[in-house]
Amino acid sequence: MTWRRLGRIALALLALLLVYQLWLLGWIVYWKWNNPAMTSFMSEQQARLASQHPDDEFELKHQWVAYAAISPQLKRALVASEDAKFLQHEGFDWEGIQTAWEKNLAKGRIVAGGSTISQQLAKNLFLSSQRTPWRKAEEAVITVMLEAVMDKRRIFEIYLNVIEWGDGVFGAEAAARHYFRTPAARLSAAQAARLAAMVPNPRYYDTHRNDRSLARKAAIIQRRMAYADVPG
């Protein structure tokens, strides 16, 4: 194979990559004003659950609600637990990433993530749950796009409505009704802290609601909530 042929192949691959990035950007621009009905991660989980229940018509628990219709307590709880510098950074908390890296290195396994709310949203909207170098690189690119196109309030509004909160449970409204039989607007501080504590491992806590570690995490989050800054 000649160098000229290799060059043409490389250019073709770069062109395809560029088209893919533009496709992603197009969706992000669209979602700046329109609410996503489904995300890549939601589709992945729906397929998993459908395969586990082939005789049933399985539907995800998900109901979109406006930012103003979600309890401020839940907003503060999520920022306190997932991304304390959400309003200060531009998509990446480099100090948090370094801290997570040091914890993982010390333990010899992944025990901390360090992903911001923007990074988590990038993954949920477009990517699979598989951990690969390509996925992390693409997540970073999408995060930059999200931060460039949307303001923090819109990023947070979408995040609140699409993150996983249990087996087939997505978004604040579905989670509030699933666990507490109340709308997201009426969540108390204690309920909000408990939901935020579930985010790192929602399917486990969905079936282990009395786990002591969940109560401990919720108590810590509730103490931090008073110091959390959220979009207005």
Separation CA 191–CA 225 (nearest Å): 12
For the whole model, what pTM was predicted? Answer: 0.90
Q: Give how far Cα 85 sits from Cα of 76, 89, 172, 177, Å.
A: 12, 6, 21, 29
Which one-letter amino acid corresponds to residue 172? A
Q: What is the model's pLDDT at position 111?
A: 46
Confidence (pLDDT) at 1? 62
- Distances, alpha carbon 176 to alpha carbons 35, 99, 127, 205, in Å: 20, 31, 26, 14
pLDDT score for 106: 54
Q: How far apart are CA 221 and CA 217, in angstroms?
A: 6
Residue 152 DSSP SS3? helix
Which residue's structure tokens are 């893919």? 20
SS3 137: helix
**pLDDT tens digits, residue range 99-147?**
655 665 655 555 455 799 999 999 999 988 777 777 888 999 999 999 9
- Residues of the chain under the 70 pLDDT cut: 1, 55, 96-113
Amino acid identity, position 34: N
* Strand ranges in 141-187 using DSSP code E only, listed in sequence order: 164-166, 169-170
The answer to whether 164 touches 197, Cβ cutoff 8 Å, is no
The pLDDT value given to residue 108: 56
What CA–CA distance (Å, rounded) separates 141 from 125?
Answer: 13
Give the 3-state secondary structure of residue 164: strand
Q: Where are the beta strands (DSSP E) in the chain?
A: 61-62, 164-166, 169-170
